[in-house]
Amino acid sequence: MLRKLPPTLVLFIAALAAPLSQAHPIPDIPVHSSFDGNAGITIRIEIDPRCFELDPNKAPSMLTKDLAALPAPKKAELKTKAAVYAARAVRFIFEPGEAIQPTFNFQFTGQANVGLSKPDDVVVLTGTWSSAIPTGAATYHIAATPEGTLSVLNFNEVRGQRLERFQVLFPGETGYKLDLHTLQPLGKPAADVTVVDAEATEEVSDSANSFAVSPLIIAIGAIALVGIAILLRGRKP
């Protein structure tokens, strides 16, 4: 049996694990397009305030208590930034026709458009836009622009039911086309786009990306294991 680890080894492991405790989820951009079956569409987009930082992965999440401390002008500024960011990162395309830019009404909410109730709830900016489908449009899809830096989560919903086909679009990738006559996806999934069943990814926005494993973290873990092995091998049974 292994004996209790020496204090020096405990401190060694703690030092290596410190960067892990400071990691934050990588923000993404969930886009929910909902069709009512009567030529109406509602689009909801979620922008994490960390998207405005130079390194979103290292920036801390905004919490309800942080939002409460912000003056009204700062809150208005964040809403304006969210609108600009959404316009730069995502394209909404009805064909035939050109890309349109929804005028989103942004509000501060919790993730997945839930209410904010606790001081430590994570705050995001949720934009909503409703309109009639353009006359003559046959298909609809979204695209993550090359100018964007984060992945876009593509969800489509028809008459209150989310379609099983779900996509993670990286900058420069285009989502599948939705037939506006049948309200069903056209064609087969593209080979260069991640497609997963919605049931298996129901919590992707708040859990699948809850931790980013970087090469640095992997290297730290490997070093820790080697250190432990060396120290334990040098101990007497």
Q: What is the pLDDT of residue 37?
A: 94
Residue 202 three-state SS: coil
**In this structure, are strands 139-144 and 105-109 parallel, antiparallel, or unpaired?**
unpaired
Claim: this prediction has a pTM higher than 0.85: no
The residues spanned by each domain of the chain are 1-23+213-237, 26-211
Q: What is the pLDDT of residue 189?
A: 60
Residue 104 three-state SS: coil
Mean pLDDT by 10 residues, the chain (237 residues): 46 44 72 96 98 92 97 98 97 92 97 96 98 95 95 97 95 97 82 45 42 48 62 58
Per the DSSP assignment, residues forming a β-bridge with 140 are: 94, 178
Per the DSSP assignment, residues forming a β-bridge with 196 are: 166
CB 212 within 8 A of CB 150: no
What tens digit of pLDDT does each residue of 28-52 get? Answer: 999 999 999 999 999 999 999 999 9
Handedness of CA 131, 28, 146, 85 (dihedral sign): positive
Interaxial angle between packed helices 215-233 and 7-21, expressed in degrees from 0 to 180 and rounded to the nearest 10: 170
Q: What is the pLDDT of residue 190?
A: 53
Which pairs count as long-range contacts for 198-201, CB under 8 Å and 24+ apart, including other chains? 198/155, 198/162, 198/163, 198/164, 198/165, 198/166, 199/164, 201/166
